[in-house]
Structure 1
């Protein structure tokens, strides 16, 4: 397989376990991922839920310190909850001791909540699930359909200073780039320099899940783009298409460069993989119910009702589960349909040993090796 594979880790906490153990598992998986030939190791950012990746910028430093070759980054920093300076200084601090292998991944979360809080609308249009060359593209999930929005809104309030307003995403990306490049000037005309941070040898990525602002901005700026098929399978393909349509060559990239994520569980047999993934729906439902991601349940948990299943059907249909040959076939199809230059794999199982085995089996089936990982040409040295 010629397309490189990378890993996105949420540091999931399993039922009966703890955040501390989840973080130890993250370090362990990152070290194995480096041995197995994965190209990047990215860390998600989620708050006030049962995953341990709430401070992705802190965890970035821990993973970088525990590894030596694999690229390490964020997938993605929720920039609406951070100042541009805090982001650049954090990456600069990690880069100072682990130079030349960081990916600065920025996402729009925390900026706009209108899609979440807008009233539901009724439409006569029925969107059917599409299967394109084996890739499932379900109807888009509407964030407004989350059952109870109170925790989301409370979390958003807690993550910002009182009365503070986040910059527009494009403006904050411009600030981050200026701080990295060394040409940042404050609103009153004072030049400021991030130390450490300015001039680091890092790649800047924008993340998105729909054909909207993030995809178009990444294209206009000529930056690499990551599309979240694992979270938004109904709109991720359209996001890639919007990015390519908006792309303008830059000093970073002469052509579009896309990484597409997928939720994957691999086991020796299809049956065993389905067993390991059998409570994925319950976990997704905990998110879409509004309670937030619960601790990941062990196989054998109470099944979802038909009404609950309807809320998570898109994620179940697009999860890629099976024996190595089953999964590699579906991942190859995803790469073909999206034209992905890389694939980003996220895997959650109740037992850490099963998650390790899933990534190991996939690396073996995809013919990854550390040597092949080093052969993959990196995109844009600067931002």
Structure 2
């Protein structure tokens, strides 16, 4: 195929397993991904859930140490829950031993003021208000585009709000996303000064050779900022299939050439499960809806259930997650390649980023191996 393929890993914890096993599985997957020819291996950041990538900056170092060539990065650091200096110093520390291989992906998740996305405003009392979205699922030249998910449908936000409080010091205030991206950029290039005009230098961190990325899922602040700054942009189709294509369009419309990029560069992500045949793949993916439902019920990502023992979703549960199920790309290598290539074609992506969750680690490895071979990645024929 004509574009590189990369991996986004959530370090999922399977039912009956442990966080320690999930970390070991992520390291194992990264080693195989390098062997099979994947371009990047990125780590998501999620907190207070049954995933082991909460300390993505720490896991980044472990993955970099376990590999030799593949680019390693964050997809994305939730900058509202970190200081700019802590992010840059952490990356600088890893870069000291693994120079020139790191991708610093930034996402605005964790910013209290903008946590519900660009379409949201805040009414008195902090209650989120979102313009109602109606419509039916479309298929654009082979790409499933469901109606945008309305976050008011999340059944219970109490754990989410408690998590935001736990992840910041009492009284701490997150910077606006654009301001924090500017701080991080200044710390990296050595031009950072405080509000009082005092110059500070991140050691290690300043001057490292890292790629700075902005993540987004809608035609809002993140897409516009990435375009305006001339940075590469990652559009989260795997999280928001109803708005990711709009995010790509907004990024391109806002793009201004920079010293980093002369033209827009876009990665589009997708949830993928590959197996030898369509039926086996569907069986491996059959508890993905349960996992998404846990998130949208407010409980957070739970342990990934065993398809052999999990009860089917109820009708009400299915309705809460049907957009994500419709957009998940599941099947044989030929089936998945056809749909991924449609996503590449429709989005104009320069690169695709796939994330795969299965109960059995062996099935997740096999999914990525089969996809690498079908996509034609160099080195993908290795065992």
TM-score range, shorter chain: over 0.9
1:120 deviates by 5.6
Determine helix, strand or coil for the equivalent of 2:112. coil
Partner of 1:307: 316
Distance in 1 separating the partners of 2:182 and 2:81: 16
Correspondence 1:360 to 2:351: no
Q: Is 1:275 matched up with 2:283?
A: yes
- CA positional deviation for 1:115: 5.8
Q: Report the counterpart of residue 241 of structure 2 in structure 1.
A: 233
1:68 aligns with 2:68: yes
Q: Aligned-pair distance for 1:64?
A: 0.2
Q: CA deviation at 1:127?
A: 1.2
Q: TM-score, normalised by structure 2?
A: 0.95
Q: 2:356 aligns with which of 327, 337, 347?
A: 347
Match of 1:176 in 2: 184
* Shift, 1:122, TM fit: 7.6
Q: Find the residue that maps to 1:26 and give its secondary structure.
A: helix
Q: 1:217-272 CA distances to partner (integer Å, 9 max, x unpaired)? A: 00000000000000000000000000000000001000000000000000000000
- Give the match for residue 25 of structure 2: 25
Q: CA RMSD in A?
A: 1.4
In structure 1, C-alpha distance between the alignment counterparts of 2:33 and 2:5, rounded to whole Å: 10
- Counterpart position of 2:168: 160
Kept in 2, the 8 Å contact 1:215–1:240? The answer is: yes
Indicate whether 1:336 and 2:341 are aligned: no
Q: What residue in structure 1 maps to residue 84 of structure 2? A: 84
Structural mapping, 1:245-260, within 5 Å:
245-260=253-268
1:188 deviates by 1.0
CA distance in 2, matches of 1:118, 1:145: 13
Distance between the aligned counterparts of 2:79 and 2:329, measured in 1? 29
| Structure 2 unaligned blocks of 5 or more | 117-125
- The Cα shift of 1:190 comes to 0.7
The count of residues paired between Structure 1 and Structure 2 equals 371
1:106 equivalent in alignment to 2:98: no
Residues 98-153 of structure 1: per-residue CA shift (max 9 Å, x gap)? 00010000000011355646456684x63111100110000001222110000000
Counterpart CA distance in 2 for 1:342 and 1:354 is: 24
The counterpart of 1:321, out of the listed 316, 330, 349, is 330
Contact 1:136-1:317 within 8 A present in 2 as well:
yes
Instruction: Summarize the Cα distance change of 1:115–1:95 in structure 2 as closer, same or farther, 3 Å threshold.
Output: closer
Q: For the Cα contact (< 8 Å) 1:7–1:346, is it kept in 2?
A: yes
What is aligned with 2:4?
4
Change (3 A) 1:154 1:188: same
Instruction: For residue 2 of structure 1, report the CA deviation from its aligned partner.
Output: 1.2
Instruction: Tell me which residue corresponds to 1:379.
Output: none
**Match for residue 186 of structure 1 among 194, 200, 205:** 194
CA distance in 1, matches of 2:326, 2:176: 34
Change (3 A) 1:193 1:321: same
Structure 1 residue 7 displacement after superposition: 0.2
Structure 1 pair 178–228 and aligned structure 2 pair: CA distance change class (3 A): same
Q: Which moved more, 1:113-122 or 1:216-225?
A: 113-122
Q: Which residue of 1 aligns with 2:205?
A: 197
Query: If the length of structure 1 is used for normalisation, what is the TM-score?
Result: 0.95
